[in-house]
Amino acid sequence: MNDQFYHRDKKKSKARKLFKRLLKNKRALLGLAIAVPLLLVVLFGDRGILQRVKLEKQKAELQAKIRQAEEQTRQLQAESKALDGDHETIEKVAREKYGMVREGERVYKVNKGK
């Protein structure tokens, strides 16, 4: 049992020795003092990697919205062009969207039963 206890102390003492050696080694300590803040800035700063990933995702979403809006614009322009001189298309839109009828026509509404 004493050997196991001694074995545990030995592991702790290795970590302590390494830490003490690191504190004595001024170059390694200086390297860590420079590397750790630099790494934090590179990862989490305003121009860091995580911010870049977030902005790339946002850019992709906005580009998809732009493509959708452009497609809708093309459809509306095609509809507008069709309405310019085609009387049948104008009549169709007036009947479907606005419920308009010709003089003398009767509109019958049918309720669908469940």
Contact (Cβ atoms closer than 8 angstroms) between residue 43 and residue 50: yes
11-45 per-residue burial string, b: 16 or more CB within 10 A, e: under 16 = eeeeeeeeeeeeeeeeeeeeeeeeeeeeeeeeeee
- Answer yes or no: is 23 within a domain: yes
Does the reported pTM lie above 0.75? Answer: no
Domain assignment of residue 60, yes or no: yes
What is the tally of structural domains in the chain?
1
What does the CA dihedral 89, 91, 92, 94 come to, rounded to 10 degrees? 120
The pLDDT tens digits for 14-62 are: 878 877 887 788 887 788 889 888 888 888 888 888 889 999 999 999 9
Sequence letter at residue 74: R
Q: Is residue 27 part of a domain?
A: yes
Whether 26 maps to a domain, the answer reads yes
- Residue 67: inside a domain, yes or no? yes
What digits encode the pLDDT tens for the residues 71-97? Answer: 999 999 988 887 787 888 888 888 888
DSSP-H helix ranges across 49-86: 49-85
User: Is 98 contained in some domain?
Assistant: no
Domain extent at residue 44? 2-73
Confidence of residue 7 (pLDDT cuts 50, 70, 90): low
Q: Are 64 and 58 in contact (CB under 8 A)?
A: no
Give domain status of residue 50, yes or no: yes
Least Cα distance to 91 among 100, 103, 78, 104 occurs for: 100
Instruction: Give pLDDT, residue 65.
Output: 98
Residue 83 falls within a domain, yes or no? no
